[in-house]
Structure formats: C-alpha cells, structure tokens
Amino acid sequence: MRIAMVSEHASPLAAIGGVDAGGQNVHVAALATALAARGHTITVYTRRDDAELPRRVPMGRGVEVVHIDAGPPHRVPKDELLPWMDDFGDDLAVAWEADPPHVVHAHFWMSGLAALRAVDALGAARPPVVQSFHALGHVKRRHQGADDTSPAERRELEPFVGRNVDRVIATCSDEAFELHQIGVQTSRISFTPCGVDTDLFCPDGPSASHGDRFRVMALGRLVPRKGVESVIDAMAVLRERGIDDVELEIVGGSLPEGEMDADPDVRRLQEHVARRGVGESVRFRGQVPHDDLPALLRAADVVACTPWYEPFGIVPLEAMSTGTPVIASAVGGLLDTVVHEVTGLRVTSRDAEALADAILALRAEPGWARTMGRNGRARVERLYTWSRVAADTERIYRQAYAERPIPLHSLHTGTAVAR
C-alpha cells in the first residue's frame, strides 16, 4: 500500500524529549519503519519548522519525510498551530492530487483536520482516513483545567475529527472509553497499542555506572503532568523515614545536560528539589539521545512513571523491554501495560507516600524485582513489538480501504472502483 502519514507537529526526524517532542515522534518513526519492512511505501507529512529543511528527506528504505509549508518556518508550540491547518490540508491535497495514497493515517487531532480537508478535495479518489489521537482534549482539560493551553476550538473540532474519519485507532481500553465519550461510534474504533523497539531496548548490553545506592529513574518529557514532582516528593518521604541509600535520576527535557539550566522544566524541578531538601540524592541528566537510553535504563533498579494521566506511555514499555521493573500510576495506558506485582507496581497518582512504599518494597526484595523485570520483557515480546503493531495497523488500513465509501456518481456511471 502507499500510506500517507500526517503528523503536523511531531516529526519522526526530531530530537526527542522536549516540550512537544515525545511519544508521537517515536511512534510515527517506528510505525513507518515497521510498515516499510512489510513492503509498504510510507510518506510522512510534517510541518516545516526550520527554513533549512529540504522539502523531501529520505528516512530509510520505503520511508520519506515531506516538509509542508504551513505557518512560520520555525518552532511554534503545537497548541498554536491551528490557524495553519487549512494551509497544511491544501498542500496535502496538491501533493495527493496526481497520485492519491491508498490510506491516510493522521496523528493528533489537528493532523486529522488537515487530512479530512485534503481528502475531501480529492472527490472520487478520496482515500480513507485512519486517525490516532495520541491525546484527547477533554481528558487533558479534566486534569489540567486552566493550565491546558489547547485552543478553545479543540472542544468542537476534536469530536468532529472523531466522527468524520473512517476509522479511529485506540491504543488502550481507557482511550476507547474516552473516544466513546466524545461520540465516536464503537463500531469505528479499532485497537492496537503503541510498540517498543525490543532490539534497541534489550536487557543485554552496556550499562551506565551504578554505585551502592538503589536507583530510581524518571524518564520522559518533564512537563508538569508527567508527575516528576511526585517522585521528588517520594525521595523526601524516604529521607523523613531515615532512608538515605536511594537515588533519583531524572532524564529528559528540551536541552542536553550541558545546557539544561536554560530549560524552564528542569529549572521548575530543580527548585522543587531544593524546596524538598533532597538535592544530594537527585541527579538531572537533561535530554538524552534515544539510542543512549537503554544503557541508562539497565543501570536503574526501577523506573517510576507517575503521570497524572497518560494517553498511552511508551516509557514504561521501554523500561520493561530492558528488563527493568516499573512503578506506574494507575492511569490511562499504564493500566494495560504495567501488570501489578507481575511487571511492576501500580500506585495512585500524586501519592508520594504510596510511591515511597513501592520503592521500598522493590529495594527490600531484589529477587522479586528481577523477576518483575524478566516478566516485563516477556510481556513486551508477546504484545508490544513494532512488527506486531505494524501487522495490526496494516489490518486496520485494509479494513478502512475495503469499507471506504464509493462515491455515488461512480455507481451511477458504472465507473469501476478498484478494490
């Protein structure tokens, strides 16, 4: 199949870890690569956020990235991109006019808007649109309230996308429920999770240095909703309990270690560390290239993923894939991926006492922790490899293609419609 992926703000070529560059970038890159390995041709359309970027960039066999001119050619926060989605859609329509793709896969609600605008301009040649939301506005609003920077139009437009695309992919049971809440018919929801690169994130390989202390690691974007403050609070709880052989390593942010003092999220967390008086046991590593993460994960005794909410969460899978147990808040996708007392421990989000208890439970029983790490690896090998996710996604594309509406005028004139 010729597959067009639309990912307006999240380029598969971007450095990962900053404010708007996380799981979606990883997902688009890995899924495109895994689909190409199955013989498909993938073009990823993303916004040009740097004037120097060429229009077309090959990304490996069978995958090409095309930069679309929509808005200023520099980084713009994703929540400010809506005004340029019509331009994005119009450019897509021009790109697809001569040779439409078999299927369009839109990532994030704004890509869905641009994709719908483009396919509607194609008339009889309209390919089906499959939508992955990655995050849902009403869930974000529920947790972030006034701090949610999404444009007000998202309230109307996101459900509009959900109702008008041909299929919606839910990555976990919680997301399927939330999609239903915004009016997406259950019969149009398909299910496939995100995946993890099990070759890169494997238990064997070099490991970062490790001293005598029990190491907790928090990895990912450092925006408030990721709940890293709770892990810092848990360190303070441990200190209050007289425990001083636990350390916390915080990995992520928009800048590498040498420059990270200029990162507002790092500064926010550093201030929190200072307020809680745990500076001696917390280390910040800044943004780390994706390929360097496995060595850090192997050196961690546990990875703490404690978001307030989480549409899916690839980091827990990366930890499990390297054989590291996970402490996860019991929210969103983590309810599906992390199995309590089997691959890790689940805690209530924003509960530092419970988190401290979970850290101590793993520290007290290294054998149990190792078993959970092995179980995590077995679970990702069974359910979350990108090759499996790509095979599921291909099935969804084929279903959407088979079910695509046949324009009425082609029935009237008897025009053959390729199936």
User: What is the smallest separation between the CB atom of 198 and ligand UDP, expressed in angstroms?
Assistant: 13
Nearest to 114 by CA among 55, 155, 75, 68: 68
In sequence order, the 6+-apart residues with CB closer than 8 A to the CB of 250 are 217, 218, 222, 228, 231, 269, 282, 283, 284, 285
User: What is the smallest separation between the CB atom of 331 and ligand UDP, expressed in angstroms?
Assistant: 12
Q: Is the Cβ of residue 10 or residue 236 nearer to ligand UDP in the bound state?
A: 10
Q: Is the Cβ of residue 26 or residue 217 nearer to ligand UDP in the bound state?
A: 26
User: What is the smallest separation between the CB atom of 312 and ligand UDP, expressed in angstroms?
Assistant: 6
Q: Which residue is nearest to ligand UDP (CB)?
A: 22
Q: Is the Cβ of residue 190 or residue 322 nearer to ligand UDP in the bound state?
A: 322
**Phi, psi (degrees; rounded to nearest 5) at 358:** -65, -40
User: What is the smallest separation between the CB atom of 332 and ligand UDP, expressed in angstroms?
Assistant: 10
Q: Is the Cβ of residue 13 or residue 243 nearer to ligand UDP in the bound state?
A: 13
Nearest to 49 by CA among 7, 9, 86, 83: 9
Q: Is the Cβ of residue 70 or residue 251 nearer to ligand UDP in the bound state?
A: 251
**Phi, psi (degrees; rounded to nearest 5) at 379:** -65, -45
Using CB under 6 A, list all residues that contact ligand UDP: 16-17, 22-24, 26, 219-221, 251-252, 287-288, 290, 293, 312-315, 318
Q: Is the Cβ of residue 14 or residue 400 nearer to ligand UDP in the bound state?
A: 14
User: What is the smallest separation between the CB atom of 139 and ligand UDP, expressed in angstroms?
Assistant: 13
**Residue that has been written with the tokens 């869930």 in this structure:** 139
User: What is the smallest separation between the CB atom of 124 and ligand UDP, expressed in angstroms?
Assistant: 37
User: What is the smallest separation between the CB atom of 314 and ligand UDP, expressed in angstroms?
Assistant: 4
Distance CA 383, CA 385 (A): 6
The answer to whether the Cα torsion of 403, 407, 411, 414 is positive or negative is negative
In sequence order, the 6+-apart residues with CB closer than 8 A to the CB of 360 are 238, 243
Q: Is the Cβ of residue 43 or residue 254 nearer to ligand UDP in the bound state?
A: 254
Could you tell me where the DSSP H helices lie in 166-279? 173-181, 228-240, 264-276
Number of neighbours of residue 79 by Cβ within 10 angstroms: 14
